[in-house]
């Protein structure tokens, strides 16, 4: 069989953000590919004829990453196509230009320009739009300023680029950069009059905003702060017709994940942090929408054990889209249960129904009538579009953007390798044999540890592991205690990092070596990122059974993590059940760096200098500790990348990352 190479990763095409047209005749989506020469992603809009299932490309510029339907024939999307707009942005001004696209003629013309950085747009009616704006409270207001006064303010903005001043937590956020004094603020924009009207206060952080079916009501979620962000959210109902706002839920009860209108009520997926902390699955609540001055009431609708977020691991995704939405009085959403992500529905009577049943992962979807079109990972293949009919229960693949690539490089299958851990839990595990496997030969092996900790592996396409199986390694992976898919209690390792999870990983390694004697036990390595990076740092300080390790975007010190990460001010208490000032010893005991002097495993550290989730200092500390104790170590630090390097990092950086890993394992395992 043909062998995957690092460069093959550049041939994958990514799909995102499918949306039906209002009449269901068409659908549109975003397709992205990697441009190696420019070291960037090129994203364009595509059209799907939902009757013939034919697709065609609508745009060519390569920077069209989002859109909405204005009507059955017209799409509105943000883009940077005007040189004058580019020059304005470079000079320090803010703007977002929107364009209209006729899907039949292909004609594109400028619709309007917003003098703000718009992060999301929703249509209210033919002239009015709901905007989510990245609002900077520390930036001089240029609105209405002209001439010398405007130029003086622009010079001040340019000067600010040379330094930063922080007085909030978090002051930076992974994937977003500096967020000090920034808020996601809501506005209503009138395209006819050009008026922009703010709905939320300057220091209110909007976390979600949803319009009802008639576009007369808006519910939004968030919190107001001027020093330290809080994870607890308030919910507000805004009347678009009369401009009044009503508080539905005060900011001291729940962490709200999602809200959706459900008939005359509001569906709320939210967590009580005292139950399982931030990694707990949200339960479902209902708020009866009040009439006039009636107080709102919230009640528990349905207890839930499973995450609605994207917790299925894969490295062949890029882009966004919908994974929860109400249609005709029923809420549809995705949940990972076991080792697959399915679509479920919930009506106002509490009837929870599983919609899709095929294994794999449903990532994003939209519904029209009896059809759901979704972007999913099926049959160990990369993302494609699929249609599921609610009446016939038939599922049909609609696109084949990656089919030729998979025919050229057929995926190495995952063989189930489950076992029972010491707690009596069934642990899901898999083994991938080397390409062109010969049972009479001995091979090196690599244990892969997922991030999270509340995420999961499943039988979905994962390039990194396919690649190493193609390079002649056994690759084995499992979902240890702390993973998603088995409910809150199984996932709860608060205060027990490196405890039951480590035991599961070591027992899994024992099981794999016993069941696959072709693996040379003297040539096994391990790799993992984020929480998986924490586990790699923990592993090298607690066992010498691995001959090489690759620790990526890791945590090494719970004490420094608590005071540097973008969620550090919540991290210690939530994940370790301790703070720097309370139970300091508990934080230190759960920190891998405490045991670094016991490490003997040659370890490669991969980190990014703009990873604000697991600050680069975490990797640097562990690297330095190993070097000081005479252990072979190497640190590869990527500039300009975030925590998401392996998934949405720049193409050349993603390839260099894999090359670093390849060289390390070849040096110590081959």
The two tokens of residue 257 are: 């994940």
Burial of 562 (0-12, 13-18, 19+ CB in 10 A): buried
- B/e letters for 143-173, b = 16+ CB within 10 Å, e = fewer, are eeeeeeeeeebbeebeeeeeeeeeebbbbbb
- Look at residue 344 in the predicted model and tell me its pLDDT: 98
What string of DSSP letters covers 475-488?
EEEE--TT-SSS-H
- Please state, in angstroms and rounded to a whole number, the distance separating the CA atoms of residues 469 and 467: 5
Confidence of residue 1 (pLDDT cuts 50, 70, 90): confident
Burial of 314 (0-12, 13-18, 19+ CB in 10 A): buried
- Look at residue 473 in the predicted model and tell me its pLDDT: 98
- Look at residue 659 in the predicted model and tell me its pLDDT: 98
- Please state, in angstroms and rounded to a whole number, the distance separating the CA atoms of residues 343 and 203: 36
| Least confident segment among 138-152, 334-348, 372-386, 562-576 | 138-152
pTM of the model: 0.96
What stretch of H or E contains 86?
A: helix 83-90
Which segments of 260-344 does DSSP mark as H helices, in order? 273-276
Q: Which domains does the chain have, with CATH numbers?
A: 412-556+591-669 (3.40.50.1820)
Q: Which residue has the tokens 């301790």?
A: 578
What stretch of H or E contains 535?
A: helix 531-540
Q: Cα torsion for 323, 326, 331, 332, to the nearest 10°?
A: -30
The two tokens of residue 530 are: 């984020």
Residue 607 has pLDDT above 80, yes or no: yes
- Please write the tens of the pLDDT for every residue from 150-179: 888 888 888 888 888 999 999 999 999 999
Helix axes 463-470, 651-669, angle to 10 degrees: 40
What stretch of H or E contains 558?
A: helix 558-564
- Look at residue 576 in the predicted model and tell me its pLDDT: 87
CB of 537 closer than 8 Å to CB of 551: yes
Confidence of residue 146 (pLDDT cuts 50, 70, 90): confident
| Per-chain mean pLDDT for the chain | 95
CB of 384 closer than 8 Å to CB of 375: yes
């Amino acid at each position: 069989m043909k062998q995957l190479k690092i460069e093959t990763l550049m041939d994958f095409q990514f799909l995102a953000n499918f949306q039906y047209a209002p009449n269901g005749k068409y659908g549109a989506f975003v397709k992205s590919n990697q441009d190696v020469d420019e070291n960037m992603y090129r994203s364009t809009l595509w059209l799907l004829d939902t009757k013939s299932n034919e697709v065609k490309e609508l745009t060519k510029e390569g920077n069209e990453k989002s859109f909405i339907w204005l009507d059955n024939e017209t799409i509105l999307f943000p883009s940077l196509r005007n040189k004058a707009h580019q020059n304005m942005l470079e000079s320090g001004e803010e703007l977002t230009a929107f364009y209209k696209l006729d899907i039949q003629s292909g004609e594109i013309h400028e619709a309007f320009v917003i003098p703000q950085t718009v992060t999301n747009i929703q249509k209210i009616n033919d002239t009015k739009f709901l905007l989510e704006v990245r609002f900077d409270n520390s930036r001089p207001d240029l609105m209405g300023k002209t001439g010398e006064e405007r130029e003086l303010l622009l010079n001040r903005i340019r000067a600010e680029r040379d330094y930063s001043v922080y007085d909030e937590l978090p002051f930076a956020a992974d994937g977003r950069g500096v967020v000090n004094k920034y808020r996601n603020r809501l506005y209503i924009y009138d395209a006819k009059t050009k008026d922009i009207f703010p709905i939320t206060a300057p220091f209110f952080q909007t976390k979600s905003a949803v319009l009802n079916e008639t576009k007369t009501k808006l519910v939004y979620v968030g919190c107001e702060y001027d020093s330290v962000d809080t994870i607890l959210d308030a919910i507000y109902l805004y009347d678009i017709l009369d401009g009044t706002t009503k508080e539905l839920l005060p900011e001291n009860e729940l962490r709200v994940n999602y809200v959706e209108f459900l008939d005359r009520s509001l569906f709320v997926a939210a967590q009580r942090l005292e139950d399982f902390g931030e990694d707990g699955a949200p339960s479902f609540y209902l708020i009866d929408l009040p009439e006039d001055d009636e107080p709102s009431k919230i009640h528990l609708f349905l207890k839930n054990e499973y995450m609605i977020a994207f917790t299925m691991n894969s490295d062949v995704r890029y882009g966004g889209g919908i994974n929860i939405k109400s249609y005709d009085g029923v809420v549809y959403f995705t949940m990972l249960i076991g080792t697959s992500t399915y679509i479920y529905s919930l009506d106002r009577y509490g009837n929870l129904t599983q919609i899709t049943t095929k294994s794999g992962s449903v990532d994003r979807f939209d519904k029209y009538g009896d059809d759901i079109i979704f972007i999913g990972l099926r049959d160990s293949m990369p993302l494609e579009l699929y249609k599921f009919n609610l009446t016939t229960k038939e599922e049909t693949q609609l696109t084949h953007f990656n089919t030729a690539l998979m025919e050229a490089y057929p995926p190495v299958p995952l063989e189930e390798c489950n076992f029972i851990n010491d707690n009596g839990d069934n642990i899901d595990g898999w083994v991938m044999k080397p390409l062109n496997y010969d049972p009479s030969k001995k091979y090196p092996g690599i244990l892969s540890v997922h991030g999270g900790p509340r995420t999961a592996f499943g039988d979905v396409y994962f390039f990194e592991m396919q690649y190493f199986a193609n390079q002649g390694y056994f690759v084995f992976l499992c979902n240890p205690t702390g993973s998603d898919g088995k409910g809150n209690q199984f996932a709860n390792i608060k205060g027990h990092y490196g405890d039951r999870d480590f035991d599961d990983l070591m027992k899994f390694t024992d099981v794999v070596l016993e069941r696959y004697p072709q693996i040379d036990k003297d040539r096994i390595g391990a790799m993992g990122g984020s929480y998986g990076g924490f586990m790699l740092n923990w592993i090298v300080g607690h066992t010498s059974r691995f001959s090489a390790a690759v620790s990526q975007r890791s945590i090494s010190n719970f004490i420094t993590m608590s005071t540097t990460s973008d969620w550090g001010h919540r991290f210690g208490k939530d994940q370790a059940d301790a703070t720097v000032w309370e139970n300091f010893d508990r934080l230190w005991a759960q920190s891998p760096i405490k045991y670094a002097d016991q490490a003997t495993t040659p370890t490669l550290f991969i980190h990014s200098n703009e990873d604000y989730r697991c600050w680069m200092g975490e990797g640097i500390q562990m690297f330095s500790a190993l070097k000081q104790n005479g252990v072979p170590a190497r640190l590869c630090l990527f500039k300009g990348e975030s925590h998401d390097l392996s998934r949405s990092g720049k193409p050349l950086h993603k390839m260099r990352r894999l090359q670093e890993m390849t060289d390390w394992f070849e040096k110590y395992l081959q």
